Amino acid sequence: MSLIERIYPDPIPEIHPLPEYLVTDQRAEWYAETKEALQVPWMGVVMMAYSHYPRFFSELWRGLKPLCESRQFVEACHELRKTVERLTVDLNPRSLITELGQMGYGNREINNIRDLNTIFSHGNQPYVVISAITRHLLEIGDMNADVRAEAFEGRHAPDLHVPFVLMEEHHVDRQTKEVYLDIKSKLQLPFVNTDYRAFARWPSYFALAWKDLSSCLETSAYESICQTCHNQIANLAAQDLPNPGELSSEALRYAANADGDLGEVIQVCRLFNWLLPGLITNVALLRHQLDAV
């Protein structure tokens, strides 16, 4: 059985994510359907970037939608989250509760940050699994031949209502802009993920949290967690998940070629397949920082 490998794309491909407030017509429908199927309040940058290639995205989402709405997919995402949150405890993240209190943060504000983290801790998992499935289909071949899947009934997302405010780079002050530059440098990325822009709504919290988190990034223990996450999603894509939408490698590659350049699409897929395990690891670390002392 062949599995996708953890590969850092070099050079980093150019991506073309279109913000939600700018989309219209078919692309707006895709964004709405994606958020509804995944039960998330935001369109991940990975899916925004994929939708730049309309024939490719149309075929991908046609096949992914029934899978994303299945019990097997939801349970796989839940298990992935459990794995990462369990492993990141061993990195010994420092609790920030006392220091935040000294800075003036009350329980209500800290709970608001926890709630936002809960939303990302739930919602990032389907995006990272999707990234593995997409890359597997383009580079390796077909998924599990079993097309049977049981629909998930009801709601699996957290029942939380947190203002979803994104601090874009042109919004922030000098200190937060420096944090953003540090994020891009240390993560070797040309953009700042949605999660970080949302946490930066509390700039003094986020500067403190990122400083502590970033000290883990270059350790072998941190990379081991990212690799474990990658291995788990690679197996999901290859054999552990059903394929109720009957996605095929041939059809998806054909659609990507119809948009112009299969190699370009593959590099974009490699970028997100590489970065998303790190993102969910980082969000887990941020979550542990908010554990009670």
292 pLDDT band (50/70/90 cuts)? Answer: low
Residue 145 has pLDDT above 90, yes or no: no
Q: What percent of the chain has pLDDT over 90?
A: 89
Give the model's pLDDT for residue 161: 83
Residue 7 lies in a domain: no
| Closest by Cα among 147, 146, 152, 129 to 279 | 129
Q: What is the mean pLDDT of the chain?
A: 95
| Domain span holding position 50 | 29-147+157-289
Residue 8 lies in a domain: no
Query: In a 3-state reduction of DSSP, which class is residue 198?
Result: helix
Q: What is the pTM of this model?
A: 0.95
Give the model's pLDDT for residue 146: 85
pLDDT in tens, 70-80: 999 999 999 99
Mean pLDDT computed over 36-60: 97
User: What type of residue is 2?
Assistant: S
pLDDT in tens, 182-195: 999 999 998 999 99
Give me the half-sphere count of Cα atoms (radius 13 Å) on the Cβ side of residue 190: 12
Residue 11 lies in a domain: no
Q: What percent of the chain has pLDDT over 70?
A: 99
Q: Is the dihedral of CA 27, 31, 37, 43 positive or negative?
A: positive
**Two tokens, residue 132:** 């593995």
Residue 20 lies in a domain: no
Give the number of other Cβ atoms within 10 Å of residue 235's Cβ: 16
Residue 10 lies in a domain: no
Residue 52 lies in a domain: yes
What value does the CA radius of gyration of the chain take, rounded to a whole number of Å? 19
**Two tokens, residue 37:** 């199927």
**Two tokens, residue 250:** 């041939």
Domains in the chain: how many in total? 1
